[in-house]
């Protein structure tokens, strides 16, 4: 089946602009299930496999062929971050066709919500908690908002399977359908489901439809991994002290008068030099100091190596 040929022209243009060479297996399988049946659809594929486009390409095509008199698609996601991420993608996809996409949660723009209440149409993205608040606070507007609702898309449906939040979400869906008098098809999206058959039964609970779970060959998956690491070490307490202590200190020059020593000839180191000859006081003092250290060392070694006294006086020659 050539699913691409069934897409609306603006969907085909979007695919050409994106540079896609062909549709993925999940997109072909989803198009076949949504176009050729009236049942609920459960799509299970790996992350980043194109599940969102696989669901919305045929849904938007059907809305383009037969526009809805109210909100046509209700998109339910467990996280506001997921709604914000999908908002840009869906808005780019629907911009050419003039299909509005509206976010409805605590951080969404209030003016966009007022425009939707005034003229309901297009796609509404909402969390389960915001859906409950909408049914409580705007219950009089529910028939006009969702009177001609065609599809309910539940993203990350696996997060709703094993918690009270999931039961509450489906209770809200049933309540909405009864208040609005509509019977929309349900489309579930998930990447991690251990038992798709049980998840399909859960998706169809309370509706008058069954669930179609398309089977397809995902082909070979290629994973590209990258790793980044950063070092952030605070300076040590003694880091600067070690550098300063390693630098030797220079002692101030010693005055020549403090280390003056007698020089043969009756002159001292501090006396004036002989005319025509320069004398460095520091060098003289260093030399005298070295002589003193040498003489002390020599006397110490002599004392240490001299033989002990024998008790007799040495002979005089």
* Residue 187: strand, helix, or coil: strand
Q: How far apart are the C-alpha atoms of 227 and 116, rounded to whole Å?
A: 44
> Residue 185 has what pLDDT?
96
Per residue in 69-101, pLDDT tens? 999 999 999 999 999 999 988 998 998 888 999
Q: Which residues of the chain have pLDDT under 50?
A: 257-287, 289-291, 293-295, 297-306, 317
> Residue 249 has what pLDDT?
60
> Residue 254 has what pLDDT?
62
256 Cβ neighbours under 8 A, 6+ residues apart? 269, 270, 281, 282, 284, 285
114 Cβ neighbours under 8 A, 6+ residues apart? none
28, 44, 204, 218, 278 from 55: Cα distances, Å: 10, 11, 17, 16, 101
Cβ proximity of 138 and 145 under 8 Å:
yes
Q: How far apart are the C-alpha atoms of 44 and 47, rounded to whole Å?
A: 9
Per residue in 147-165, pLDDT tens? 999 999 999 998 888 778 8
CATH superfamily of 3-212: P-loop containing nucleotide triphosphate hydrolases (3.40.50.300)
> Residue 224 has what pLDDT?
79
> Residue 201 has what pLDDT?
92
């Amino acid at each position: 089946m050539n699913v691409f040929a069934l897409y609306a022209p603006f969907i085909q243009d979007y695919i050409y602009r994106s540079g896609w060479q062909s549709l993925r297996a999940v997109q072909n399988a989803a198009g076949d299930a949504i176009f050729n049946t009236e049942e609920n659809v459960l799509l299970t594929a790996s992350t980043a496999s194109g599940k969102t486009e696989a669901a919305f390409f045929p849904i938007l095509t059907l809305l383009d062929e037969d526009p809805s008199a109210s909100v046509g698609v209700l998109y339910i996601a467990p996280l506001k971050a997921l709604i914000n991420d999908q908002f840009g993608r869906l808005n780019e996809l629907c911009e050419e066709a003039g299909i509005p996409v509206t976010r409805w949660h605590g951080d969404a723009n209030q003016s966009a919500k007022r425009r939707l209440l005034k003229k309901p149409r297009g796609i509404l993205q909402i969390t389960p908690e915001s859906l409950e608040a909408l049914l409580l606070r705007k219950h009089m507007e529910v028939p006009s908002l969702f009177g001609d609702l065609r599809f309910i898309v539940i993203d990350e449906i696996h997060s709703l399977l094993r918690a009270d939040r999931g039961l509450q979400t489906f209770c809200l869906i049933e309540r909405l359908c009864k208040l609005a008098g509509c019977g929309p098809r349900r489309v579930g999206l998930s990447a991690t489901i251990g038992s798709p058959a049980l998840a399909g039964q859960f998706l169809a609970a309370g509706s008058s439809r069954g669930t179609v779970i398309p089977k397809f060959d995902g082909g070979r998956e290629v994973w590209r991994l990258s790793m980044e690491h950063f070092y952030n070490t605070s300076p040590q307490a003694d880091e600067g002290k070690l550098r300063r202590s390693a630098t030797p200190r220079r002692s101030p020059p010693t005055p020549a008068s403090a280390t003056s020593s007698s020089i043969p000839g009756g002159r001292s180191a501090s006396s004036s030099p002989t005319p025509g000859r320069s004398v460095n006081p520091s060098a003289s003092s260093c030399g005298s100091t070295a002589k003193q250290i040498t003489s002390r060392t020599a006397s110490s070694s002599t004392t240490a190596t001299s033989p002990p006294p024998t008790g007799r006086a040495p002979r005089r020659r």
